Structure 1
Amino acid sequence: MNALALALSLALSAYAQPPAPKVINMGPQFREFWNAAQARSFDEQLKLWDDLVEGPHQKYFDHAVWRKHKNADWRERKRRLLQSAFRRYPELAPKIDLAFRQFEHVLGLQVDRFRQIFPDARFDLDIYAGLSPTFLGMVTSLEPGGGSPVLVFAIDSIAADAERSPALLYAHELFHVYHHTVMGPSPSAAAMSLMLWHEGMAHLVAALVNPGSSDLELLGEPRLADMASKDLAWLAREFAPVAGQKVAQNHSLYQSWFDPWAPRLRPDLPALCGYKLGLEIARRAKQYYRLDEMSRWTPERAHEEVMQSLKVFAGG
């Protein structure tokens, strides 16, 4: 192959490859902070945190972590949550540091595997390997009033989750990015059924991207992973009457199914039951439909499938 042909081949190969995500890794800030802060009082730690961690990434903390535009009590909340987090850092710091150092490698593997299932997937957005006591991972915006999406992961909170696999969580959130692209953004008046479908599909795809993973690694809670069929049937009966309700009009309803800190649906059941129910609905749908087809369903089609599955699970 002559030089011109080789150059052309390399150029075409590079063109065919989707661009790699831009990763903002806060590992260096974490290491600098904890090396200086671990033997200090909490007030001294908080000052070092503001200077060394939040300062270089203020928009991330303002909009993704503390959500200052929505939480008038963010200062009190920040102080309370960081005090709790810092108490765990002596035990978790080595694990957090390792997760930061491995992040690009693990994420890159997930992106490559994801594209084997969805060849059209592109992740042209900023991805943060960050710190936060308020979430594990999510797609959000760092601009007031919304803007370009970013994908954010809280490496310290992920390290504190003993059961859940970080790789599965990364794949879960990558699917949310992809789903937003092919299905379109959720309507402002999104129904509960659409939230159930979004989360169920993300869990299903995360498991497919990581074959051999267990439901415990996927869901992070033994009582969700090993839920009895009678409890799943009860959840289906409970969800069916509220499936059409709009999330924006009843946020507490959404929280009861998808928020780890919300009151339980039933005292003997764990939090986050919506994730388990959504996963089983997506698994059932995959018995009859192609994955690429399911990913592109409209909200109306997704609602139809959710309602049909709820009826089956409820025993009706």
Structure 2
Amino acid sequence: MILVTLMAVALAVQANPTPAVPHENAAVVVTSADFTSHTAAFTAFVDETATMPEAERVRLFRARFNALFPGFYQPHGRTEAEYDATVAAALIGFPAIREKYTAASDAFAQAFTTGQTRFLKTFPDYELNMPVYLVHSLGQMDGGSRTINGRNVMIFGADVIAKIHDETTIAPFLDHELFHLYHATWFPDCDALWCSLWQEGMAVYVASRMNPGASERQLLLTIPEPLPAAVNPRLREAMCLAHAKFDATEQADYAPFFFGRPSGGPFPPRFGYYLGYLLAQKIGTTMPLTEMAHMPPAMVRPLLEKAIAEYGACPPPAKG
């Protein structure tokens, strides 16, 4: 059962609650110096508006939750109608995940604290440098950093955590996400595809090193299907495809490697995570983990190209 075992050791966040939104029936926001949870506000809204017509319910949700967490509950590239449909689906579907969502929410604060303690043992110079939010993400994410209204924040989605994580995956998942925060100090975001190969590959590799014997599922390499089984028979082809797109910056090039939705390409969604992991693993045979984490982009790129070349020569790029 999702996070039930973890809940046995979880503690509530210790903080003085403050009103979530300016509404007499609003839930409270649980906060600490670096952690804010808006998950109870979503549950309270679902209960409060259960009999409301859908269009009015969605309108009220958008008004109230944009005030609660300004900048997050926005279409972000979708049309207004598409976003309204996303909100409606999340509200209608909530009863089916409510128990697991509540368990994930209740367990998360202590799990995150424990995760940071573990992470410091591997990377003693780690420091949390942005606020952390736990929300109902409307199906967007289990975790990741975002820039919201010009501010860098870490966001975890209790709804997606409830669907895809359990007590066996939560530690590697947090190791993965905490590494992204840590890694950004030395390897800032860049648009080229090779940058994401390194960033995501390193995060998977670090999770594997911090959790010896972790399964493909624990390393999130089975979403939406087992990536190694799908990629390994054509591994050289996959690596050459990555090399051909090495400097690509367009979303159309990036999406097949790292997005979770089908792209119509020759490999399954998110296969770039697996390629990046294999490349980081290969480079990891030549240097300590901390040294890898501290490498700037100028050092990383040639090492990635060399590692890809070890899988075999790639055909020359097509002309025209």
TM-score, length basis structure 1: 0.79
Cα shift at 1:49 = 2.6
| 1:141 lines up with 2:140 in the alignment | no
2:81 aligned partner: 76
Cα shift at 1:118 = 0.2
- Whose helix fraction is larger, Structure 1's or Structure 2's? 1
Task: Tell whether the 8 Å contact from 1:169 to 1:218 is kept in structure 2 after alignment.
Answer: yes
| 1:95 lines up with 2:100 in the alignment | yes
Query: What is the distance in 2 between the residues matched to 1:100 and 1:123?
Result: 20
Query: What is the distance in 2 between the residues matched to 1:159 and 1:38?
Result: 22
Name the amino acid aligned to 1:174. L
The C-alpha deviation readout for 1:149-176, integer Å capped at 9, x for no partner, is: 2111121122223689343333222111
1:309 aligned partner: 307
| 1:171 lines up with 2:175 in the alignment | yes
SS of equivalent to 1:128: strand
Q: Select which of 48, 57, 78 maps to 2:69.
A: 57
2:8 aligned partner: none
Deviates more, 1:151-160 or 1:51-60: 51-60
Cα shift at 1:271 = 0.5
1:150 aligned partner: 153
SS of equivalent to 1:226: helix
Name the amino acid aligned to 1:170. L
Name the amino acid aligned to 2:182. Y
Cα shift at 1:115 = 0.6
SS of equivalent to 2:218: helix
Cα shift at 1:106 = 0.9
2:19 aligned partner: none
The C-alpha deviation readout for 1:259-316, integer Å capped at 9, x for no partner, is: 11251421xx320110111111111111221111111112122111211221223477
Using a 3 Å threshold, how does the CA distance of structure 1 residues 22 and 229 change in structure 2: closer, same or farther?
same
Query: What is the distance in 2 between the residues matched to 1:54 and 1:235?
Result: 41
Name the amino acid aligned to 1:301. M
Q: C-alpha root-mean-square deviation of aligned residues, in Å?
A: 2.4
Query: What is the distance in 2 between the residues matched to 1:168 and 1:44?
Result: 40
Cα shift at 1:184 = 4.0
Query: What is the distance in 2 between the residues matched to 1:257 and 1:83?
Result: 29
Q: Percent identity?
A: 22
User: Runs of at least 4 residues of structure 1 off by over 6 A?
Assistant: none
Matches within 5 A, 1:157-196: 157-161=160-164, 165-181=169-185, 183-187=186-190, 190-196=191-197
Deviates more, 1:225-234 or 1:198-207: 225-234
Cα shift at 1:225 = 4.5
SS of equivalent to 1:216: coil
User: Where in structure 2 are there 5+ consecutive unaligned residues?
Assistant: 1-31, 315-320
1:197 aligned partner: 198
2:258 aligned partner: 258
TM-score, length basis structure 2: 0.78
